Structure 1
Amino acid sequence: MAKVFVGLSGGVDSSVAALRLLHAGHEVVGVFIKTWQPDFISCNWEAERLDAMRVAAHLGIPFLTFDAEEAYKKGVADYMIAEYEAGRTPNPDVMCNKEVKFGAFLTFAKAEGANFVATGHYAQNSTDEHGRHLLRGNDSEKDQSYFLWTLTNDQLNHILFPVGDSPKSVIRDEALRARLPTATKHDSQGICFLGQVDMKDFLSHYITTEAGDVLNESGECIGTHDGALYYTLGQRHGFTVTVRGRDEMPHYVIGKDLKKNTITVGNMPQRGQTKTLSLTDMNILTPLTIGETYEAQIRYRQTPFPVRFMAGEGSHGTLEVLVDIETPSPGQSCVLYVGTECLGGGIITE
């Protein structure tokens, strides 16, 4: 059997991942990945690490702590700050998987003699004569393949997703039967290093902004905001509208101008304006065919929509959007699928 380093986060999913691997006869080592957090934010990583230690002790497996602060600060936090400063909307979860969990952690595990790393992600992989394939998790409500599109075929050869074939309810029941210390623990939400601080407050420590005007679709000033770069298309909170119409309908961000420091809002998110998607930093696990139709997702838990692959050169590609969709924000991840297979993806530039 194989030697597997399991990323124990202190949650129930990774706990059951370790349990299943142990039952399968593998040599299992539990590893808590310590990430970066700024001095001005309190994060409960110590409590999460303690829960991970309790799980390892309960299962009778070795426990290690891997210090990934440098990789996380550079690959996730600094990247996120730079993207927001440029007016784009990044996905830190995607970058955490790329740079930390399946980047620095995988490198560490292999150097320590591990054959595989495993996590509690709701995703699956399979192997056939064409190689390794990344698949959606069996629980459609929990599927996390959207956040894993940056994985390479070589990385997939060393990654296991032990809980990806089961719905969350089964994982929870399994944890209860095994009396795991995390069996009744609530799922974590959001980005650890932010804690109870929202994204705007975090960014304000690194980016200097000024208040600006909120414009309606006629270009009239109807309110104020805290800095155009903070906002993403489709957002409906975080700005103040002081001049309202009779309908009192909600307002959504439908455009922003960083040079003028303005955002434009409307009563409905923009739809039907996007005819093509230009992608950069593309990572393709299974080759795409020019002119072929695929399914795309530009947000987590979004219903996939059809696109046609029009062109690709190096890390760049162009997709034709075949239905009306809400206008995406540059910086978001566009992930491609055929059925349950994740083919890869890229970062939206326009």
Structure 2
Amino acid sequence: MNNSTVIVGLSGGVDSSVAALLLKNQGYKVVGLFMKNWEDDDDDDYCSSKQDLLDAVSVADKIGIDIEVVNFSKEYKEKVFSEFINEIKSGKTPNPDILCNSEIKFSAFLNHAISMGADKIATGHYAQIKEADGLYSLLKADDSTKDQSYFLYRLNQHQLSKSLFPLGNLLKKDVREIAKKEGLHNSDKKDSTGICFIGERPFTEFLNKYIENSPGPIKDEHGKILGEHIGLMFYTLGQRQGLGIGGSKTSNGEPWFVAEKSIKENILIVAQGHAHPLLFKDGLIAKKPHWIHEALPEKHWVYGAKTRYRESDAPCEIDMIKDDSVEIFFGQKQWAITPGQSVVVYESNVCLGGAIIECAIDKAQVPFPEKIVAS
């Protein structure tokens, strides 16, 4: 019998519910903790925190564990949301889920859990943790379609040493089957999307509450004005929908994509066709690098990196420019590398860490090994 106490972040969703169930069945003393992290417009149609709390309480009662509620809205607004808004204002496309994990779920929540007497915390993330000789590694989940290591790359050794990911070796369909078999009412509940802890809201309407928009021209690569944007903050590189320039396509059938944002001149530059050269870059410069093993990976050609969550790992080479930034070049040009997003680096299925993309760059001639280019 395992007598360790584990505090599980119960969100009301099926993943965290099954994580708590599995740990209880393994003999841990399990306590659920529901985190409330957003209070603005909490009574509107888009905030599901009330229903999520009811679902979490129902699950805790069903599997026979205690549950507590904690409010981290002050910490969330100061450490996550304020940074999100600042990045948006600068014309970037930040990923608040990554900062939310490092600052709230595995910092504020972890510290609170330890104060409650917890030995470990656990979440419903799809990822794995391995320990060898006192060094903790973050690994991809067995279910490659649900792997969430991308969002966890900023975790440090202490946070990993105190965390459990019970779903790391399971497929999503198996998690739902476990929930259904055990009679959990949320077995078919839709996975949450949208901004971390804020939910699924109309993005433009939501941002208008916090940032004053500034309309300007939409131009093609030759400087021809095609329309007007409603504010650069509402667009991201590679975006196709919602450009408002004669629908999404022109007479030749090729859709338009956001290729660049000129912040200084307030111009949105678009390119026609998914394969347009303006959308592809050789590499990137990224800031605030974080390495899980607390050291920069050696410079060689066995790494893969992704510049957005749903991408496959692309062969790359890493160079440190200075302590607070990193340069990464890819074996093949990458599509719509987006400032504000994170580049996350892997060695096989091990997540080494990553950094926040500052800008995409080209390199005239990169001496990539032939086998890398061909892959």
Gaps of 5+ in 1: none
Q: Aligned residue for 1:328?
A: 337
- The equivalent position to 1:264 in structure 2, one of 266, 269, 273, is 269
Give distance in 1, aligned partners of 2:306 and 2:253: 32
Structure 2 counterpart of 1:34, which letter? K
Give distance in 1, aligned partners of 2:199 and 2:129: 32
**1:316-347 residue CA offsets vs partner (Å, 9 max, x unmatched):** 22112221111311111000001111011110
Contact 1:229 1:258 in 2 (8 A): no
Contact 1:293 1:309 in 2 (8 A): no
Structure 2 counterpart of 1:7, which letter? G
Contact 2:127 2:147 in 1 (8 A): yes
Q: Aligned residue for 2:22?
A: 20
Whether 1:317 and 2:321 are equivalent positions in the alignment is no
Give distance in 2, aligned partners of 1:326 and 1:208: 30
Gaps of 5+ in 2: 360-375
Q: Aligned residue for 1:303?
A: 312
Whether 1:190 and 2:197 are equivalent positions in the alignment is no
Structure 1 counterpart of 2:291, which letter? I
- The equivalent position to 1:174 in structure 2, one of 178, 190, 194, is 178
1:239-254 matches, cutoff 5 A = 239-242=243-246, 245-254=250-259
Give distance in 1, aligned partners of 2:333 and 2:200: 36
Q: Residue 98 of structure 1: CA displacement?
A: 1.1
Give distance in 1, aligned partners of 2:196 and 2:318: 36
Whether 1:91 and 2:95 are equivalent positions in the alignment is yes
Contact 1:194 1:202 in 2 (8 A): no
User: Greater CA deviation, 35-44 or 127-136?
Assistant: 35-44
Whether 1:139 and 2:146 are equivalent positions in the alignment is no
Q: Residue 66 of structure 1: CA displacement?
A: 1.3
Give distance in 1, aligned partners of 2:339 and 2:196: 24
Contact 1:255 1:265 in 2 (8 A): yes
Q: Aligned residue for 2:57?
A: 53
Give distance in 2, aligned partners of 1:130 and 1:159: 14
**1:114-168 residue CA offsets vs partner (Å, 9 max, x unmatched):** 0111000000001112611100011011000000000001110000000111001
Structure 1 counterpart of 2:10, which letter? L
Change (3 A) 1:323 1:114: same
Structure 1 counterpart of 2:255, which letter? P
User: Greater CA deviation, 35-44 or 315-324?
Assistant: 35-44
SS at match of 1:200: helix
Contact 2:154 2:353 in 1 (8 A): yes
Identity of aligned residues (%): 38
TM-score normalised to structure 1 length: 0.95
Contact 1:291 1:310 in 2 (8 A): no
Contact 2:76 2:104 in 1 (8 A): yes
Change (3 A) 1:37 1:249: farther
Change (3 A) 1:338 1:291: closer
Number of positions where the alignment pairs a residue of Structure 1 with one of Structure 2: 350
Structure 1 counterpart of 2:26, which letter? A
Give distance in 1, aligned partners of 2:90 and 2:196: 23
Give distance in 1, aligned partners of 2:253 and 2:185: 49
User: Greater CA deviation, 292-301 or 189-198?
Assistant: 189-198
Contact 2:153 2:290 in 1 (8 A): yes
**1:232-256 residue CA offsets vs partner (Å, 9 max, x unmatched):** 1101122221497531421100011
Structure 2 counterpart of 1:348, which letter? I
Give distance in 1, aligned partners of 2:193 and 2:270: 28
SS at match of 1:240: coil
Query: In angstroms, what is the RMSD of aligned CA positions?
Result: 1.8
SS at match of 1:100: helix
